[in-house]
């Protein structure tokens, strides 16, 4: 009885640390999450799940630092936005790859004892899925990413063949089917010799929805993936429902509220978008729910463009003024804000004010395209 009580207490302690670390991760508290996962890998070094959790937290931190942890980074034909960076700290990359390698070694050790161990097969699939995500999102090494994603898909399909109720495995299978299903046909043709083929994006969406509804450990990850998918598929109401649910559960994750504002913009609900950006700024400036971690000048820029869309030009100028006064904004970000203000002044017949904005741009060390537009509007007023 005493031994049983000790084992139960140890298991409960593991779960508590894991749950607290995962809660921190989804609230963008990467240091707390990684510390918790490191504790688990130290105390239970043969469990590949804990090594995979640590690897995932390292990857997400890299994505956050690269400014790719947002809906917009996955909305276009390529990953990232104009504000994203592709540089990766070599030490972070090595740590990620080393951690994934350990997870795979631990899973392989389990598979030597039992080749049909679904837990080990699933863990090895997660390791490959993490590497695939890193290669695609952080490194833009798409062929390597495709190969790793296929391995993850195959391992998790094997899990489902053994145990059809293992719904967590549907996440990587569904993600693979969706991503391969939406890439251009000629690219899919080129990938056929590598064995990379899809059951179709609609099948992928259904699999993701099943993982979101019934997954034990990947429900949140599947729902986060569905936010991206629903936005791409213009299913904005479905995206908003998930965003609202996740933000209610993880209130310190300002990315969810930014995704909400962005989705309102795609729906052309500009009043709702502007209101949401204002609520985000209020939390950031009030240092509420960890929102002080936000780069507020980026939020002001989005607020400015939303106000332009809803024809609130004075409010737009006020928002853009915060961008140009920010010590954290880059030269390109300031130049873009000055350009918007110049166009607003031109549209209102305030030519002298507009010319001042264009002149400031020309004095900045900023993107040549922005300078070219400023030169153009100096010669001929924007209308």
Transcribe 361-374 into DSSP letters. HHHS---HHHHHHH
For the record, the structure tokens of 8 come out as 């139960």
Burial-class residue 338 by CB neighbours within 10 Å (0-12, 13-18, 19+).
buried
DSSP 3-state of 8: helix
Are 342 and 377 a contacting pair, CB within 8 Å?
A: yes
Q: Give the model's pLDDT for residue 181.
A: 72
For the record, the structure tokens of 301 come out as 């820029």
For the record, the structure tokens of 200 come out as 């179709």
For the record, the structure tokens of 37 come out as 């996962």
Are 229 and 263 a contacting pair, CB within 8 Å?
A: no
The whole model's pTM is what? 0.87
Are 209 and 226 a contacting pair, CB within 8 Å?
A: yes
Strand segments (E) across the chain: none
Q: Which residues contact 125 (CB under 8 A, 6 or more apart)?
A: 151, 152, 153, 154, 155, 156, 159, 169, 172
For the record, the structure tokens of 353 come out as 């004010």
Are 322 and 303 a contacting pair, CB within 8 Å?
A: no
Are 121 and 153 a contacting pair, CB within 8 Å?
A: no
Are 54 and 38 a contacting pair, CB within 8 Å?
A: yes
Q: What length does the chain have?
A: 383
Are 90 and 38 a contacting pair, CB within 8 Å?
A: no
d(CA 379, CA 244): 47
Angle value at C-alpha 14, between 11 and 17, nearest 5 degrees = 150
d(CA 159, CA 139): 29
Listing DSSP states for 29-72 in one string gives -HHHHHHHHHHHHHHSTT-HHHHHHHHHHHHHHHHHHTT--SGG
Q: Which residues contact 4 (CB under 8 A, 6 or more apart)?
A: none
Q: Walk along the chain (383 residues) and give the pLDDT tens digit of each residue.
A: 555 544 444 567 888 999 999 999 999 999 999 999 999 999 999 999 999 999 999 999 999 998 888 777 665 555 556 666 778 899 999 999 999 999 999 999 999 999 999 999 999 999 999 999 999 888 878 778 888 989 999 999 999 999 999 999 999 999 988 887 766 443 443 344 445 555 578 999 999 999 999 999 999 999 999 999 999 999 999 999 999 999 999 999 999 999 999 999 999 999 999 999 999 999 999 999 999 999 999 999 999 999 999 999 999 999 999 999 999 999 999 999 999 999 999 999 999 999 999 999 999 999 999 999 999 999 999 98
Q: Give the model's pLDDT for residue 5.
A: 46
Q: Give the model's pLDDT for residue 145.
A: 82
Q: Give the model's pLDDT for residue 140.
A: 79
Are 296 and 326 a contacting pair, CB within 8 Å?
A: yes
Q: Give the model's pLDDT for residue 6.
A: 43
Where does 115-183 have alpha helices with state H? 118-137, 142-162, 170-182
d(CA 35, CA 30): 8
DSSP category for residue 355: H
């Amino acid at each position: 009885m005493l031994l049983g009580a000790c084992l139960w207490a140890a298991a409960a302690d593991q779960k508590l640390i894991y749950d607290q670390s995962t809660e921190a991760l989804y609230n963008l508290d990467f240091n707390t999450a990684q510390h918790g996962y490191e504790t688990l890998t130290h105390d239970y070094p043969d469990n590949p799940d804990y090594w995979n959790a640590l690897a995932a937290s390292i990857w997400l931190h890299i994505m956050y630092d690269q400014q790719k942890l947002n809906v917009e980074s996955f909305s276009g034909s390529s990953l990232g936005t104009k504000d994203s960076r592709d540089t990766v700290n070599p030490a972070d990359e090595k740590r990620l790859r080393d951690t994934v390698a350990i997870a795979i070694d631990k899973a392989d050790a389990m598979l030597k004892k039992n080749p049909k161990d679904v837990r080990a097969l699933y863990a090895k699939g997660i390791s490959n899925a993490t590497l695939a995500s890193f290669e695609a999102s952080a490194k833009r090494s798409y062929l390597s990413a495709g190969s790793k994603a296929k391995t993850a898909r195959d391992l998790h399909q094997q899990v489902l063949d053994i145990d059809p109720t293992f719904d967590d495995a549907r996440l990587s299978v569904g993600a693979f089917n969706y991503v391969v299903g939406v890439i251009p046909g000629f690219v899919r043709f080129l990938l056929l010799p590598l064995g990379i083929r899809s059951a179709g994006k609609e099948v992928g969406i259904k699999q993701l929805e099943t993982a979101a509804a019934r997954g034990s450990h990947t429900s949140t990850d599947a729902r986060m993936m569905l936010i991206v998918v629903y936005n791409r598929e213009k299913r904005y109401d479905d995206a908003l429902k998930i965003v609202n649910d996740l933000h209610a559960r993880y209130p310190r994750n300002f990315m969810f509220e930014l995704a909400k504002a962005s989705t309102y913009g795609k729906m052309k609900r500009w009043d709702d978008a502007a209101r949401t950006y204002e609520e985000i700024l209020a939390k950031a400036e009030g240092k509420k729910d960890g929102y002080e971690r936000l780069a507020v000048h980026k939020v002001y820029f989005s607020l400015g463009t939303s106000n332009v869309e809803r024809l609130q030009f004075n409010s737009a100028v006020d928002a853009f003024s915060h961008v140009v006064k920010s010590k954290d904004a880059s030269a390109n970000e300031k130049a873009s804000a000055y350009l918007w203000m110049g166009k607003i002044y031109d549209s209102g017949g305030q030519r002298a004010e507009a010319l001042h904005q264009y002149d400031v741009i020309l004095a900045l060390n900023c993107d040549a395209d922005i300078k070219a537009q400023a030169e153009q509007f100096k010669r001929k007023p924007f209308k």
